[in-house]
Amino acid sequence: MSRIADCALRIARMRGRAAAVVLAVVATAALAAAAGYWFGTRGAHAPVAAANADSMPDKSGKKILYYRNPMGLPDTSPTPKKDSMGMDYIPVYEGEEREVDSGVKISPEKVQKLGVRTAKVERRALDAVVRATGRIEVDERRQFTVTSKFEGYIERLYVNSTGQFVARGEKLFDAYSPELLAAQREYAVAAQALAQLKDADPQTVAGMKRLADSALARLRNWDVGDDEIAQLAAGGEPRRNLSFRAPVAGVVLEKRAVQGMRFMPGEMLYQIADLSTVWLIADVFEQDIGRVRVGSRATVLLEAYPGQRFDGRVTYVYPTLKPETRSAQVRIELPNPGGRLKPAMYAQVELTTGATTVLAVPNSAVIDSGARRVVIVDRGEGRFEPREVKLGGKGDEFTAVLDGVKEGESVVVAANFLIDAESNLKAALGSMTAPEPSAAAGKVQVAHSARGRLDDVDAKTGTLLISHEAIPSLKWPAMTMEFVPANDAIARAAKPGTAIAFEFVERKPGEWVVTKLEPRK
């Protein structure tokens, strides 16, 4: 019994200790909750106080506006803080906020050495002339084909050469046709019989009249002239030959008729064109076609007549575009006295359009990468800002800008280093800019120099793993991080494990691109 009592006493003591532990845990949790509430109520007002304190001038007398991410990420803070790597956020002082952007600062010596020239963004009238190339063609409405409606033979040819000029109604050839001769005789007999049977009974007269009308209709359908028909009706002999005449005054463009040849119904024998008025078909580029209107005046220059100008009018703008040349055709009518304008002549065309006053920049100021259009704005004191713009019409010297710049701003018009179609615009500009001592004051630098060791090159992504020394221009401590090579040559410039010296830029927030890398001893 004594053993049973000892066991019971031990169990009671253990339960008491467990209860005490539970009570301690509960008490600790309650104290933690109370402390959290107290700190939370104090912390809700702490940032405001800190922000108010930091908005005051610091020891140097400059007013701190905010703190920016030391790695260039789009993150700011009203109070001092550290990023995930333990780096302090950099203060931005009043008057320096505009410098934390995509701009570039170039020293005056470099500006002069690079030959940078600028021009003002102004309102001006774009060139009121659209220039294009074209060719002279025959007016399609003045082309005629001579053909026959019956079978026959050419017995005599009067117009026997291509390019020969013919007058309207001039004989082209005489044709013999057995069918035509039979139709003439049939009409002659019917017409004479109808005249003799005028006193006969009405039924006989009506039958003979139907026969005569049928023969007459056949002759008219075969283009037999009224004079010849009247001669047949008066008792004249049927003509063996029928003369074909020119339907219009013009030039024979094509001749297939040969003396003695047999021709069939519908066969083309001559093609004649009236060249007193010709067409000029001009190819206008897609970017200019919106400025061309029907009725616009056109001035034509021909290599055949140097120094001479021919005036015409736009009569039609074709509704389709040539996909091969990205151009649309425009028809211009030109008077052609004396036949000086010959089909297939090459011509230069100037189309007069309505001039409009627009905000414009010189053509040389626009950098067109295919994906976007950029101009470099000169902000003064060596600061340049690449700015994307929306363009309008383009003239010989100036391009209209619909959005992106303001009147009076200056844009760069001459600096070869700005044009680099193979690399990002900001990286190309950043490689021209050296770090300046003012980086410690919080100014963004586009290009940075560093020393370190190339640890590895990722074969799949191409990224470089570099352990670099401290970088004063960015206030970075020594650390290991990933960089992106600007091209394959940079990635192959050193082997992993090699000590290197390199330069890099920030292409976009958080992406650091190595623009130069070389091994060092």
Q: Which tens digit of pLDDT belongs to each residue from 382-416?
A: 777 788 888 887 777 888 899 888 888 988 887 63
Kindly report the number of other CB atoms within 10 A of residue 347's CB atom.
Answer: 22
Here the tokens at position 40 are 């939370």
221 with 154, same domain: the answer is yes
164 with 263, same domain: the answer is yes
- CB 115 within 8 Å of CB 414: yes
3 state SS of 348 = strand
Here the tokens at position 93 are 């002082």
- Estimate to the nearest angstrom the gap between the alpha carbon of 204 and the chain centroid: 80
The owner of tokens 């291509």 is: 162
- Provide the residue range defining the domain that includes 40: 1-44
468 with 511, same domain: the answer is yes
DSSP-derived pairing of the beta strands 499-508 and 479-485: unpaired
The pLDDT value recorded for residue 22 is 32
Is 146 part of any domain? yes
Cα(378)–Cα(429) distance, rounded to whole angstroms?
13
* Number of domains observed in the structure of the chain: 5
CA of 61: how far to CAs of 54, 55, 56, 93, 364, in Å? Answer: 12, 11, 9, 10, 44
Kindly report the length of the chain.
Answer: 521
Torsion on CA atoms 499, 504, 506, 510, rounded to nearest 10: 0
Cα(145)–Cα(273) distance, rounded to whole angstroms?
9
Residue 307 backbone zone (phi > 0: left; psi -120 to 50: alpha; other: beta): left
Here the tokens at position 38 are 């107290």
Kindly report the number of other CB atoms within 10 A of residue 317's CB atom.
Answer: 15
Is 253 part of any domain? yes
19 with 69, same domain: the answer is no
Here the tokens at position 21 are 């532990």
Here the tokens at position 295 are 């009725």
DSSP-derived pairing of the beta strands 464-468 and 447-457: antiparallel
11 with 35, same domain: the answer is yes
The pLDDT value recorded for residue 353 is 79
3-state SS, one letter per residue, for 374-392 = EEEEEEECCEEEEEECEEE
The domain boundary, picked from 242, 273, 304, lies at: 273
Cα(438)–Cα(457) distance, rounded to whole angstroms?
33
CA of 38: how far to CAs of 32, 33, 47, in Å? Answer: 10, 9, 16
Q: Could you write out the DSSP letters of every residue in 445-494?
A: -SEEEEEEEEEEE-TTT--EEEEE--BGGGTBPSEEEEEEESSHHHHTSS
Cα(322)–Cα(286) distance, rounded to whole angstroms?
9
262 with 216, same domain: the answer is yes
69 with 85, same domain: the answer is yes
- CB 264 within 8 Å of CB 151: yes
Which H helix or E strand runs over 215? helix 202-221
Give the CATH number, domain containing residue 232: 2.40.50.100
Give the CATH number, domain containing residue 411: 2.40.420.20
Encode burial over 255-266: b for 16+ CB neighbours within 10 A, e otherwise: bebeeeeebeee
Give the CATH number, domain containing residue 450: 2.40.50.320
CA of 325: how far to CAs of 15, 193, 286, 349, 394, in Å? Answer: 96, 70, 9, 17, 18
- CB 345 within 8 Å of CB 304: yes
Is 296 part of any domain? no
- CB 498 within 8 Å of CB 453: yes
- CB 378 within 8 Å of CB 365: no
The domain boundary, picked from 243, 273, 303, lies at: 273
The domain boundary, picked from 408, 427, 446, lies at: 427
Is 334 part of any domain? no
Quick one: DSSP state of residue 370? Answer: S
Burial class (CB in 10 A: 0-12, 13-18, 19+), 460: exposed
Q: Give me the residues paired with residue 501 across strands.
A: 451, 518
Encode burial over 350-373: b for 16+ CB neighbours within 10 A, e otherwise: bbbbeeeebbbbbebbbbeeeeeb
376 with 438, same domain: the answer is no
177 with 212, same domain: the answer is yes
CA angle in degrees (0–180, nearest 5) for 212-217-221: 150
Is 348 part of any domain? no
Query: Which residue type occupies 6?
Result: D
Is 352 part of any domain? no
Low-confidence ranges of the chain (pLDDT < 50): 1-54, 98-101, 416-445
Here the tokens at position 36 are 């959290």
- CB 205 within 8 Å of CB 134: no
248 with 151, same domain: the answer is yes
CA of 514: how far to CAs of 180, 400, 428, 487, 496, in Å? Answer: 93, 36, 12, 9, 15
Query: Which residue type occupies 150?
Result: F
Is 210 part of any domain? yes
| Residues in contact with 509: Cβ distance below 8 Å, sequence separation at least 6, in sequence order | 72, 73, 74
162 with 190, same domain: the answer is yes
147 with 255, same domain: the answer is yes
Which H helix or E strand runs over 185? helix 178-196
Is 492 part of any domain? yes
Here the tokens at position 214 are 């049928």
